Amino acid sequence: MSHIQAVHRLIEEKSDLFTDMSDRIWEFAETAFLEKHSSEYIISKLEEQGFEVERGVCGIETAFVATFGSAKPIVGFLGEYDALPSLSQEKGIAEYKPIASGGNGHGCGHNLLGTGSFAAAVAVKDYMEENNVIGTVKYFGCPAEEFGDGKAFMAKAGIFDDLDFALCWHPAPINSVFKMDVLAINQVYFRFKGRSAHAAASPHLGRSALDAVELMNIGVNYLREHIIPEARVHYAVTNTGGDAPNVVQSNAEVLYLIRAPRVSQVQSIYERVCKIAEGAALMTETELEIVFDSGSSDMIENHTLDAVLDENLRKLDPPKFSKDETAFAVAIRQNVIRRREEHLMGERD
Ligand SMILES: [Zn+2]
């Protein structure tokens, strides 16, 4: 029996455990950093399987690391389990039916995400035990995949430092190795503070924060020609300073997202955007506050590992679906199309 068949058999043997876990996490449906029941459930199952678990790593209650073994190489699996707001849905039915109106739900399959990585970690551990393989397998419980970047805090705290490599995955309509470079990003608020005045009676006394926002945006739009074409800079005016044109707006705010292939490129564009904001404040005699909200580095792909994964995935047969499973998928698709048509008709009316 090949290694792949052996691991496949180990997964099949515990398939009930994995299916139950997926169902439970679907029901818990907890959003970013609040995945208390989901993480506790996975921890309890990891402990049952012989893993040692360190809870609440890097000061985050729902982040954890489970370890089996102690020697090199150290192989990691990343597991996530956060839900999204307003996507509550009863399990096992093809029609849209929220459990609680406005409640949370799993939009892109994060009930499967942490579970699939759990299955992989357990199968590798079982394989190591059966075949006396030396090494360490770790399961990383990573909060906040949807938004909030739980893994960024874990990386910063050095949680992944001793790894030889880690594998992650995401549910998708196709079974393949993900080849996707992800841009680095900075998310920053620029807040301007001016002086209010009546715009008709005494405009000379006012200093407009909205003018500063507009001038900043014009400056950044001129900047575009002189940055790398792969960069993406977009903004939204998050505070216009009010809805009265006859009042000089004393406060205004614009939110910028600055993206580029490498984090160093984002940083240099960000510094230039900050200079433009300072220029806009100077032109309008307003005060500027820069609030750095969040940022993520680019994802560096390991192409060698991709090739190994691809080669092994091709050796497995594609998943087989029963008649019932195919009919269920068709029903979901039909319902999605029907709901989209209803939505479009509603927009036309
Ligand atoms: Zn997702």
Would you say 39 and 141 are in contact if contact means Cβ atoms under 8 Å apart?
Answer: yes
Name the pTM for this structure: 0.78
pLDDT confidence of 179, banded at 50, 70, 90? Answer: confident
Q: How far is the CA of 84 from the centre of ligand 1 (A)?
A: 9
Query: Does 132 have pLDDT greater than 90?
Result: yes
Question: Which is more confidently placed, 342 or 126?
Answer: 126
What is the C-alpha separation between 217 and 259, in angstroms, rounded?
16
Question: Which is more confidently placed, 117 or 174?
Answer: 117
Q: Please give the C-alpha separations between residue 66 and each of 44, 49, 51, 120, in angstroms, as whole numbers.
A: 11, 10, 6, 13
Tell me the two tokens of residue 10.
Answer: 């180990």
What is the C-alpha separation between 107 and 11, in angstroms, rounded?
25
Query: Does 294 have pLDDT greater than 70?
Result: yes
Residues above pLDDT 70, as percent of the chain: 99
Q: How far is the CA of 144 from the centre of ligand 1 (A)?
A: 10
Q: Mean of the pLDDT values across residues 122-140?
A: 97
What is the C-alpha separation between 257 and 293, in angstroms, rounded?
10
pLDDT tens digits, 192-224: 999 999 999 999 999 999 999 999 999 999 999
What pLDDT, on the 0 to 100 scale, is given for residue 349? 58
Q: How far is the CA of 269 from the centre of ligand 1 (A)?
A: 28
Query: Does 232 have pLDDT greater than 80?
Result: yes
Tell me the two tokens of residue 274.
Answer: 């900050």
What pLDDT, on the 0 to 100 scale, is given for residue 347? 67
pLDDT confidence of 326, banded at 50, 70, 90? Answer: very high
What is the C-alpha separation between 343 and 349, in angstroms, rounded?
10
Q: How far is the CA of 48 from the centre of ligand 1 (A)?
A: 27
Tell me the two tokens of residue 17.
Answer: 């455990």
